[in-house]
Amino acid sequence: MDDFNCTKGIPSSDFCMSALLKHASLVYTHTLFRDFEDEFKYAMASDIENLYAEGSNFIYRVCLNGIIGSDQRVYFNKLDSIVYCECKNFNESGWLCFNCIRVLHAHSYKQIPKKYISTRWTRLAKKEVWEKYDKEKREKGEINNFTPWRLHMIRRYYNLIIKSHKLEEARKVIEESFRKASITVENIIKKEEAKQLAAAKQAAEKEANEVVQQAHKDDSNQQIQQASSSTIIVLDPNRAVTKGKDNKRIKGHYDSYKKPSKRGKKRHKEFGSKTPKVHLF
């Protein structure tokens, strides 16, 4: 519902809407604004100490009140509006940690520097905008398909740890749940690896069988070609002579006709040697 209403209005806050918090409500989605609001609460409950200052460069030590070991060093360049914390929360999650927010608030910043507003977490970002942005990042090898889910889960676990680190019982619950989740995830990974190995083995066996079958087929075709090329086709074979018979031609029905005798045949005489009996005049 928050994602649906993120462009419909400005979220409210339990805090007095300072300039920095109000700007966050204008640029971030409702869901991320709640996370930023939690970071802002911790920032307001933190102590800040200046360790170094020269020109526009500063180094601060920020820590939560009464919590030993929570101090972090924050490097700040006022001229270029560059803020960097040793916890590297922005590099991992895409939004500023409470240490950086505390330094910006100490310098009376009314807006979050543009370089620290991730495109994906803005309330007015359209789908095609961050898809194009992610595509460019993915082509450069700076992002993968699992980055959004990973950042989302980092943000949720980070908030849970921040809420529970003061209570020993809560810390034990988180540690135990992490141990159980690790075992379950490892079993799932092993099953998936075994499944992929079996599939790869089956594919290799199938490919080997296909190669063997193709080799047998090629050998068979080659043998057939060699047999066909060595066979001599006789178009006019010699007639076999059966024992006791001659090789004369068998007489047909035309041979049974009687030929005229040459003995009684009269020879023609030369023209004019005999006077015809017919009277011409």
> What are the tens digits of pLDDT across the range 120-152?
777 766 555 666 766 777 677 665 666 667 777
Which of helix, strand or coil describes residue 5?
helix
> According to the 3-state scheme, what is the secondary structure of 220-258?
HHHHHHHHHHHCCCCCCCCCCCCCCCCCCCCCCHHHHCC
Backbone angles phi, psi at 46, to 5 degrees: -105, 155
113 in Cβ contact with 83 (< 8 Å): yes
pLDDT tens track for 69-111: 788 999 999 999 999 998 888 888 888 999 999 999 999 999 9
pTM reported for the whole predicted model: 0.45
Give the integer Cα–Cα distance in Å for 112 and 75. Answer: 16
Residue 20 structure tokens:
């920095």
Handedness of CA 120, 132, 149, 171 (dihedral sign): negative
DSSP, res 56: T
Question: pLDDT above 70 covers what percent of the chain?
Answer: 67
162-213 pLDDT tens trace: 878 888 898 889 899 989 999 999 999 999 989 988 888 888 888 888 888 8
Q: What is the pLDDT of residues 219-256, one digit of tens each?
A: 777 777 776 665 555 555 555 555 555 656 666 666 66
